[in-house]
Chains A and B, each alone.
Chain A
């Protein structure tokens, strides 16, 4: 397979390639190794998208099953990781559609402009790595991420947490690059405002 089929900044992954070839040759060990390579990331992605451990576990399983059913026809024109996240993203959206009473909200840019520029965001370089502070921060951030409408949460997770590029995220979600940029910016501002509000509230109580 030519390396040029991969995005320029994503080098050819020789381990994935070798495992896929072993899988095609009938190796069940290759299945185990591929699951081990990606299960943590897919589980955490599912957890951040759906908020429930059981849903995250189901999403990871569904993703692997779907991938292995079609892997013999996978042409490796995109990295395996991107393909797996595309399957997982679809599984997350399907799950969301099944849940009634959750209309998709838009975040308007106007709603994010309030506040005169006065934000309190802890500087992570000055934050001691203590478990109490870490847990407190994590609870605040997890709560803020959960409040994001799912299409914004999806883009934020893929771009800022998983580290996919704008182009890759657009390919995974099936939207334009411009829409990725718009949703990412609004998601970041939304999270910034929520985290800042939580910290101001915490300061008032202390």
Chain B
């Protein structure tokens, strides 16, 4: 496997801080020398940030009410 290919498979682990020290040093050296892998890293970072940013919607109030009512109703029935 080429050096790029080997690192390509571990870029997420690098982003998540899950690499051992030896691999971390190796991948950082490669990223500083390889614009293509650097671009891959940056594009993945942006992808994750975008996905996380759009996840703050509240659920509709009527849905909240229905979930609670249904759960309480079923549990009350079961306890009788």
Contact = CB atoms under 8 A, between A and B. Distances in A.
B11 A195 contact: no
A61 B46 contact: no
B44 interface: yes
B40 A121 contact: no
A21 to B, nearest CB: 18
B47 A121 contact: yes
Contact of A191 (B47, B63, B70): B47
Contact of A161 (B18, B39, B52): B52
Contact of A141 (B16, B40, B43, B54): B54
Interface in B1-41: 5, 8-13, 16, 18, 35-37, 39-40
Contacts of A121: 43, 46-47, 50
B13 A145 contact: no
A175 B24 CA distance: 25
A116 B53 CA distance: 27
Among A145, A161, A188, which residue has the most Cβ atoms of chain B within 10 A?
A188
B43 A57 contact: no
A160 B67 contact: no
Chain A interface residue bracket vs B: 35 or more
A112 to B, nearest CB: 9
A113 B4 CA distance: 11
Contacts of B50: 121-122, 124, 137, 141, 195
A189 B10 CA distance: 12
B67 A188 contact: no
A146 interface: no
B51 A145 contact: yes
B36 to A, nearest CB: 4
A137 B40 CA distance: 20
Contacts of B8: 109, 113
Contact of B51 (A32, A119, A161, A166): A161
Contacts of A160: 48, 51-52
B11 A185 contact: yes
